[in-house]
Structure 1
Amino acid sequence: MNERTWLITGISSGFGRQMTEQLLKRGERVAGTVRNMEAVNDLQAKYGDLLWVSKLDVTDTPAIHRVVNHAFHDLGSIDVVVNNAGYGLFGAAEELTDEQIRHQLETNLIGSIQVVRAALPHLRKQGYGRILQLSTVGGQSAFPGSSLYHASKWGIEGFAESVMAEVAPFNIGVTIVEPGSARTNFRYQSSALAPKIDAYEASPAIHVRRIIEEAKAPSLGDPAKMAAAMINSVDRNPAPKRIVLGSDAYSTIHKALTERLAELEQQKDLAFSTDFD
């Protein structure tokens, strides 16, 4: 395996932190972004020049382009771009505030889109590259109480799958990563809840609120193993379109796709009947 250079957004915690630690231990270079520079002081002290760090809020589009440009300029080339920064917003659609809606989409969807757009000119120029787009089991299935989170992840999956075909002629691969639950701080520390409307006590949307408020539901996924799987996926050629991580993710996505296909098959006659004679 050749030593590579990675650009990873959001390396202060969760999968971004796990990937960064594993890569640095292997002697690979990481250009990481954080909102709080102090969060990675320990990594900078330990790994020195192997870790390039910049402050970035992915809701700031001009800043995204500045940081990505600086990373490529300072490091010469970047082999893998990992779109990891994001968070979950939970609550019934009616409960969400307009500000929460905008911020969720600006972070998870628009921010990820702009990271890719900023990186592509550099990847095209160097003639190769790989993009890992972090999504979730919720990018293929949907649960009540998570409508805006799903909107952001279903949206970024559609974007990424389209970009896959656009950039394939330039030797750039794109992989969507769909983890299930993992023992990171995502669910209980990095998630946001909508203000509560009492009427939704009678709605299935209440279940996700209770899970987050009680902070007791165990997660099945090992984040270290998941991070390793993401890293190892880069060695596969051609790039896999998707990698599913976690038994809960596999089971949930399998059920969702099976049901979707069955519903589609039932509509075949109707679909064909609407063509011109």
Structure 2
Amino acid sequence: MDNKKTWFITGASKGFGLSLVRQLLNQGQRVAATSRNLEQLKDVVGTDSPSFLPLQVDLGSDSSVKAAIDRTVETFERIDVVVNNAGYGIGGSIEELSDKESRDSFDINVFGTLHVIRHVMPIMRRQHSGHIFNISSIAGIAANTGWAMYAATKFSIVGLTEVLAEDVREFGVKVTIVAPGAFRTSFLTKESLALPECPIAEYQSVRESHEKYLQMNGQQAGDPEKAAAAIIQTATAAEPPLYLLLGEDAYNRAMRKLEFLAEEFKRSEELARSMAYHG
């Protein structure tokens, strides 16, 4: 990277977030990184470099996020790139998940992202520059059985990011949706994946889907270091993509979804075109 930038990365103590932090610091970039556990974050990154600002943040709290962003600007004077990476998986049918389980997932996966955007945009507008990466998932484009609530949060990220890109273009701010497939991170471990507290035995296809994914843990094809490098490379592009699909599985699922949508939309074409008034 030619110029030193300040990055703000959520969920930085593991997975994509940790890979990003390490690569960026190795490249001489300034990094503000958040985690629920400050000591864990410091331990895994393992540096006291003045270019690294570890921050303990509750992403479900608007005030906690604001304080972290304020601290970042006080320390580094600006924020150039934001990566809304924090989030967790949640499995189960809608009937099986309690209101609290569902709302908790939205609090982190969606509202945590909204909190960051809300407080970073005034900075980027003043700078007339910046790049926001919102980490969704291929499940936010093409969902699978047994992951309705997770898909709901990730579809939300896709929708809000598409509109965000339009809303902030006039300020010189770029926006990218990142949709990874299966990567060899801690995503399928207990610390990153919630399953229903009260499962319903009749949902056999949901149980089978969960079992298939849990068995995949540690065998995923995707390399998180390559994913982090791709995000860093995209941040240098003059015209970055709105959608960044990561992983061959993600690309294939997205293309199958395109074909599915085209077929489904055409099924109702005649009816759709018959809705106009005829006076």
Please say whether Structure 1 and Structure 2 have the same fold, judged by a TM-score greater than 0.5.
yes
What is aligned with 1:192?
Answer: 194
Matched, 1:58 2:54: no
Deviations 1:3-34 (A, max 9, x none): 11100011000000000000001110100001
Does the Cα contact within 8 Å between 1:188 and 1:215 map onto a contact in 2? no
Distance (whole Å) between structure 1 residues aligned to residue 256 and residue 267 of structure 2: 17
What is aligned with 1:112?
Answer: 113
Structure 1 residue 213 displacement after superposition = 4.8
What is aligned with 2:13?
Answer: 12
How is 1:89-100 mapped onto 2 (pairs within 5 angstroms)? 89-100=90-101
Does the Cα contact within 8 Å between 1:179 and 1:244 map onto a contact in 2? yes
Structure 1 residue 79 displacement after superposition = 0.8
Structure 1 residue 273 displacement after superposition = 0.4
- In the alignment, structure 2 segments of 5+ residues that lack a partner are none
Distance (whole Å) between structure 1 residues aligned to residue 68 and residue 114 of structure 2: 15
Structure 1 residue 42 displacement after superposition = 3.7
How is 1:150-165 mapped onto 2 (pairs within 5 angstroms)? 150-165=151-166
Percent sequence identity is 34
Structure 1 residue 75 displacement after superposition = 1.1
Does the Cα contact within 8 Å between 1:188 and 1:212 map onto a contact in 2? no
Instruction: Give the aligned length.
Output: 275
SS of 1:67 mapped into structure 2: helix
What is aligned with 1:31?
Answer: 32
Does the Cα contact within 8 Å between 1:91 and 1:208 map onto a contact in 2? no
Mark the CA change 1:242 to 1:224 in structure 2 (over 3 Å): closer, same or farther.
same
Counterpart residue identity of residue 262, structure 1: E
Counterpart residue identity of residue 39, structure 1: Q
Distance (whole Å) between structure 1 residues aligned to residue 207 and residue 44 of structure 2: 39
Deviations 1:76-109 (A, max 9, x none): 0111011001000001111112211010011101
SS of 2:50 mapped into structure 1: helix
Mark the CA change 1:217 to 1:93 in structure 2 (over 3 Å): closer, same or farther.
farther
- In the alignment, structure 1 segments of 5+ residues that lack a partner are none
SS of 1:219 mapped into structure 2: coil
SS of 1:41 mapped into structure 2: helix
Matched, 1:83 2:84: yes
Deviations 1:101-152 (A, max 9, x none): 0100111011111111110001101110000000110110111110110110
Counterpart residue identity of residue 226, structure 2: K
SS of 1:7 mapped into structure 2: strand
Structure 1 residue 70 displacement after superposition = 1.9
SS of 1:199 mapped into structure 2: coil
Distance (whole Å) between structure 1 residues aligned to residue 264 and residue 58 of structure 2: 41
How is 1:1-277 mapped onto 2 (pairs within 5 angstroms)? 1-42=2-43, 45-189=46-190, 190-195=192-197, 196-201=199-204, 204-214=205-215, 218-277=219-278
Distance (whole Å) between structure 2 residues aligned to residue 49 and residue 17 of structure 1: 17
Give the TM-score normalised by structure 2: 0.94
SS of 1:194 mapped into structure 2: coil
SS of 1:149 mapped into structure 2: helix
Does the Cα contact within 8 Å between 1:33 and 1:54 map onto a contact in 2? yes
Mark the CA change 1:188 to 1:163 in structure 2 (over 3 Å): closer, same or farther.
same
Structure 1 residue 73 displacement after superposition = 2.4
Structure 1 residue 199 displacement after superposition = 1.2
Distance (whole Å) between structure 1 residues aligned to residue 162 and residue 70 of structure 2: 24
Distance (whole Å) between structure 2 residues aligned to residue 234 and residue 212 of structure 1: 31
SS of 1:49 mapped into structure 2: coil
Q: What RMSD over aligned residues (CA atoms) do the two structures have, in Å?
A: 1.5
Give the TM-score normalised by structure 1: 0.95
SS of 1:240 mapped into structure 2: coil
Does the Cα contact within 8 Å between 1:90 and 1:147 map onto a contact in 2? yes
Does the Cα contact within 8 Å between 1:10 and 1:33 map onto a contact in 2? yes
Counterpart residue identity of residue 15, structure 1: F
